[in-house]
Chains A and B, each alone.
Chain A
Amino acid sequence: MDDKQTKKVRCRHCGHIFEVEAEAIHITCPKCRKDFWVALISLMGGKFV
């Protein structure tokens, strides 16, 4: 079973909301295929918040 943490993100271009790996910062939207970046600052004790 894949127990990797995930997070929901919102595409900066088309607004599509989808899940990616929690550590992902450079993301490609599966709907519009465009790339965008999100910040990653909240890893605490191995848990993303």
Chain B
Amino acid sequence: MGSDNRIQQATPVRISTNLNVERQTAKTDFGDRMQAGLQQAAGIVANGAAIAAPFLPGGAIVSAAVSSVATMGQQLSAGSTAYAATGVTSLSGGAVNTTVGSGGNLVTGGGVGGTVGNSLPGFGGASTTGGMTGSMNVGLQDSAGQLGQMLQVQMQMQKENQVFTTVSNVLKTRHDTVKNTISNVR
């Protein structure tokens, strides 16, 4: 009965006094890393395409589409981490390339796709992509300037050609008129 007495003795109540603290180590599970990577990639795509948009045909469409890509990245970062892996996989494979490709320019689609492909695996392609964007920007500016100058020269030449043609026609008609007049003098 003694054991009974020992059992029935009032046991001291154990109260844990440890408070909840934030995680001390970096949270590096798959979902978090995928979310961060996609956000970075979407930002790079948005910046690059927004810079290139004014110099390309259908630039307004590309710019609008790319702004939606950036918004998508922000929405994903605010979303639940638990669904990050699944959602990110489908969106990174489909939405980014499809949306940017809707700009209707093969060069744009290829360039943006290449940027995403280079930056996604290592999540560290930002500086390299920035250099590419800068050189592309300079090249596009040069091309646009040369194209504008060529168009102006072409228009001037067409106008001059038209003037020469009409004046030549007048002179030829005058000559023919004089010839006919002399022949038909009566």
Q: Do A and B bind each other?
A: no
Residues of A within 8 A of B (CB): none
